[in-house]
Amino acid sequence: MLFAALLMMLCGQSVNAAVKLTALSGSGLGEGEGCQKLFDETQDTKWGTWDGWYHTYEGNADLPNVIFKSSLPIAVADYELVIANDTYNSPGRNWKSWRIFGGNFASDDAATLGAEGWELIDEKVDQELTTDQFAVVPLTLSNPANGYFSYFMIIVDAICADNAFDDYTQMDEFRFVN
């Protein structure tokens, strides 16, 4: 753990440069625009999903979410979102309200959506994100943890769309920074 913290201080860059983030489960995992695309470090891809609002009408009330792990336990205070390529034309797809949790579990299988042990480390409500393609949006955790976590979870509670015809949720990249 100390090595990861030291490496982040020396690098002065995103944690992702020193630590690999890997999606374990979530909206669209394994699909072309699945949640794993949040951590692939390329602007040629994005996480995009109809999970949540649109599919609620079909009986699927799951909010867009992703559970991911870090290759090393990390303590972070800041993160960045990279806006997806077509958000300018579809600004309703941007995240508006979301929560980020940290946790430590005995195994990948134990880190589930309903597992006990998640600690809320960030909550954003009614955020106005830029619609500029590939813009990097720096953010600070609202409730940074006093410790290290190996597992993280993002739940998107609302997007900017105000109608049922543009309920697609998307984001290009997510990364922790020191």
Per-residue pLDDT tens digits of the chain, which is 178 residues long: 444 443 444 344 445 457 999 999 999 999 999 999 999 999 889 999 988 755 444 444 578 999 999 999 999 899 999 999 988 888 889 999 999 999 999 999 999 999 999 999 999 999 999 999 999 999 999 998 888 999 999 999 889 886 555 678 999 999 999 7
Q: Residue 13: what pLDDT?
A: 45
Would you tell me how many other CB atoms lie within 10 Å of the CB of residue 20? 14
Q: Does residue 113 contact residue 27 with C-beta atoms inside 8 Å?
A: no
DSSP string, 56-71: HTTT--PPPEEEEEEE
Q: Residue 91: what pLDDT?
A: 87
The angle at the Cα of 24, spanning 72 to 19, to the nearest 5 degrees, equals: 25
Q: How far is CA 176 from CA 16, 34, 74, 80, 158, in A?
A: 7, 19, 9, 6, 21
Q: Which domains does the chain have, with CATH numbers?
A: 2-11+46-177 (2.60.120.260)
